[in-house]
């Protein structure tokens, strides 16, 4: 495998060479659990799940860490406004994020550390930085001395004179460009003991400490949304390298989900929560939509774009199910060279999808020609490619025959009766009744396709497995 990734820090495409042969270490900045997840929040989970699946499929032992920020100003403020304990507020929304990731088929991380569980590691990191002259304590706070680190700005390109941390000046801060690693305790807020007095960690400190604890002083890939490049990731680099760690060797950042050209965020009021969007499309279709653009590009949300993506997925899914109706099984095959070339080119999913659609087209041609064996082989290739993207329709996460068979069987009886009436009307050239039967099915969300083997039906909104009807019997 020759995987090439765009490294934000060097602004170049670089061949991925792991620190330890056969092992890939990845850290993804996870959620600040302040509220319900919207689709912009989970895009990074979907995007870098593809990276993880590709590495694993090519024989890498992947350590994948995704943290949870469970202590933060926003969490405290929102919990206080709701008159709820901060820890309950954080836990409630952590579970909401877990549900969203699970519903979208994002593989669980190797470990999902919480910031509040790693105060000891954070205190040790601050102690090292103070000893090296890169941090200082004042008024119970601990600040990182930005000027002391000559390479500050290497990731974002920010010049030191233009740095604005986006935080208050703080008691005892020597330079407004310095950032807070430890916040002195305030009345009514949670705090932990430290050598500099009780307090709580700053956001940037958390990820540096957790990444080092689980992946070591140096690791392969650090991922996150492009909004984290500055100040969060810039500050992570500064404090980790100033403490003597090599830290991340590759930096990957995904683009935003936007509405009207603006980043989706709660402050803009343009939030689409995952539960609300899942009222419009299935989870697998939402995942397909979120993963369909290149991970570094902006994804402009619209209802039409979402439903277009769902229909595109349904066409792929329908092919798989048509083949499944005619063979005893579809083993997962091997992806095509074209698909591999696309994924290895900085996870170019749009190119990979073009390859999938091409194979589906060839597979449908094989079915029409009666070449079932060829269609089965092509369907196996499609399954292999879709599994890398996390949307294989026959994956048990998306499809459980035992759970669906009873409902589908009952529905099939009703649809079959309507199709029989339609067939009889057509045989008698009673076009009015034939059209009426078709219209009733369409109104009920049933899509009928006339084939050489008889009519096939599927649930138009969900692309359920098509069922062939021949001589009044469903196959």
This prediction has a pTM of 0.84
Nearest-angstrom CA–CA distance, 174 and 368: 75
Domains in the chain: boundaries? 4-254, 299-389, 404-474
pLDDT in tens, the chain (475 residues): 699 999 999 999 999 999 999 999 999 999 999 999 999 999 999 999 999 999 999 999 999 999 999 999 999 999 999 999 999 999 999 999 999 999 999 999 999 999 999 999 999 999 999 999 999 999 999 999 999 999 999 999 999 988 999 887 778 999 999 999 999 999 999 999 999 999 999 999 999 999 999 999 999 999 999 999 999 999 999 999 999 999 999 999 999 999 888 888 766 666 799 999 999 999 999 999 999 999 999 999 999 999 999 999 999 999 999 999 999 899 999 999 999 999 999 999 999 999 999 999 999 999 999 999 999 999 999 999 999 999 999 999 997 544 454 555 567 778 888 888 888 888 888 888 888 888 888 888 787 777 656 777 776 544 344 443 332 333 3
What stretches of 166-246 adopt beta strand conformation (E)? 179-184, 199-201, 218-225
**CB neighbours (10 Å) of residue 79?**
19
Exposure string over 24-43, b if 16+ CB within 10 A, otherwise e: bbbbbbbbbbbbbbbbbbbb
Q: Which CATH class, in words, describes the domain spanning 299-389?
A: mainly alpha
Match domain 4-254 to its CATH number in 2.60.40.10, 3.90.1580.10, 3.40.50.620, 3.40.50.410: 3.40.50.620
SS3 annotation, 46-71: HHHHHHHHHHHHCCCEEEEEECEECC
């Amino acid at each position: 495998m020759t995987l090439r990734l765009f490294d934000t820090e060097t602004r170049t495409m670089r061949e991925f060479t792991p620190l330890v042969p056969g092992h890939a270490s990845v850290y993804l900045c996870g959620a600040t659990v302040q509220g319900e997840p919207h689709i912009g929040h989970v895009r990074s989970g979907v995007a870098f799940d593809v990276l993880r699946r590709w590495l694993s499929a090519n024989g890498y032992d992947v350590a994948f860490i995704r943290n949870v920020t469970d202590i933060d100003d926003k969490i405290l403020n929102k919990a206080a406004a709701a008159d709820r304990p901060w820890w309950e507020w954080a836990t409630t929304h952590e579970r909401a994020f877990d549900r969203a990731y699970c519903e979208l088929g994002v593989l669980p991380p190797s470990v999902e550390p919480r910031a509040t569980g790693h105060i000891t590691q954070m205190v040790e990191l601050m102690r090292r930085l103070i000893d090296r002259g890169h941090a200082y304590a004042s008024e119970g706070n601990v600040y990182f001395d930005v000027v002391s680190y000559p390479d500050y700005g290497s990731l974002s390109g920010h010049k030191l004179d233009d740095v604005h941390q986006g935080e208050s000046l703080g008691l005892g801060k020597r330079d407004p460009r310095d950032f807070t690693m430890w916040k002195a305790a305030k009345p009514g807020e949670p705090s932990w003991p430290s050598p500099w007095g009780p307090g709580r960690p700053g956001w940037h400190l958390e990820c540096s400490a957790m990444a080092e604890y689980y992946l070591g002083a140096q690791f392969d890939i650090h991922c996150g949304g492009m909004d984290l490049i500055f100040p969060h990731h810039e500050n992570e680099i500064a404090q980790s390298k100033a403490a003597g760690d090599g830290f991340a060797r590759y930096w990957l950042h995904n683009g935003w989900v936007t509405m009207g050209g603006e980043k989706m965020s709660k402050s803009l009021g343009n939030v689409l929560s995952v539960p609300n969007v899942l009222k419009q499309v299935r989870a697998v279709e939402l995942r397909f939509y979120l993963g369909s653009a290149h991970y570094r590009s902006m994804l402009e949300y619209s209802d039409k774009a979402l439903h277009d993506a769902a229909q595109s997925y349904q066409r792929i899914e329908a092919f798989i199910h048509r083949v499944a109706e005619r063979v005893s099984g579809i083993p997962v095959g091997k992806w095509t060279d074209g698909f591999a070339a696309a994924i290895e080119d900085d996870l170019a999913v749009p190119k990979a999808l073009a390859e999938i659609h091409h194979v589906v087209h060839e597979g449908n041609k094989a079915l029409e020609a009666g070449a079932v064996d060829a269609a089965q082989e092509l369907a196996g290739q499609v399954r292999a490619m879709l599994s890398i993207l996390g949307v294989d329709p026959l994956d048990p996460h998306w499809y459980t025959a035992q759970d669906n068979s009873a409902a589908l069987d009952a529905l099939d009886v009703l649809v079959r009766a309507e199709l029989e009436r339609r067939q009889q009307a057509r045989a008698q050239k009673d076009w009015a009744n034939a059209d009426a039967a078709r219209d009733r099915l369409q109104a009920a969300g049933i899509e009928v396709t006339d084939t050489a083997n008889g009519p096939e039906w599927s649930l138009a909104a969900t692309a359920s497995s098509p069922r062939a009807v021949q001589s009044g019997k469903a196959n």
